[in-house]
Amino acid sequence: MTNREKAEQYSATPFKRWSGKPVEQIEQFLNDCDTIRAEFQGCTFDLNQMFPMTLEQMREEVARLTKQSKRRAGVKALKAKYGHEIADKIVFKHSGRHIR
């Protein structure tokens, strides 16, 4: 199914963000999503939640979410290795933040 066909289908779907929007706008958004997926290979975020965003805004948001995910992965690893209390001290020493 091409992006044009998807856009036509999405435009006709009721109760969604893109309901009633012009097919060209939805098609451009889907093309932008394909571009983002190609740039960020490991992108596991639902890009359809970013519907009204432009390509540049989508890049910034995916970069922000990826950075946040990597930061959490580091904290998870520290907690698994050293326990919550020591991991909190390490994170606080380097970033000035406490972990949950």
For residue range 43-53, list pLDDT tens digits in order: 777 767 888 88
Tell me how far apart the alpha carbons of residues 50 and 46 are, in angstroms, rounded to a whole number: 8
| pLDDT digit string, tens, across residues 53-93 | 888 998 999 889 888 888 788 888 999 999 999 999 999 99
What is the value of pTM for the model shown?
A: 0.67
Give the pLDDT score at 79: 92
Mean pLDDT on 22-31: 89
Within a domain: 100: no
Report which residue type is found at 37: R
Within a domain: 27: yes
Domain extent, residue 7, equals 3-95
Q: How far is CA 21 from CA 6, 13, 16, 86, 97, in A?
A: 13, 10, 10, 52, 43
Within a domain: 30: yes
Work out how many domains the chain is built from and give that number: 1
